[in-house]
Amino acid sequence: MFGMSMDIGIDLGTANVLVYVKRKGVVLKEPSVVAVNRDTNQ
């Protein structure tokens, strides 16, 4: 991809993460996940 630029958009929604690439549309649509270690609360 030398000499070419790629316009992308990332939507970090509540249920799904979407990645949009100009001229290609949505290239990734995956469920969002949050994990917490109950021992360290991290």
The full DSSP string for 1-42 is -TT----EEEEE-SSEEEEEETTTEEEEEEE------TTTT-
Q: What is the pLDDT of residue 5?
A: 73
pLDDT band, very low/low/confident/very high, at 2 (cuts 50, 70, 90):
low
Dump pLDDT digits (tens) for 7-30: 999 998 779 999 999 999 999 999
Query: Domain residues of the chain, as ranges?
Result: 1-42
CA distance from start to end of the chain: 38
25 to 16, 22, 31, 41: CA distances (angstroms): 16, 6, 18, 37
In this predicted structure, the answer to whether residue 31 has a pLDDT above a threshold of 60 is: yes
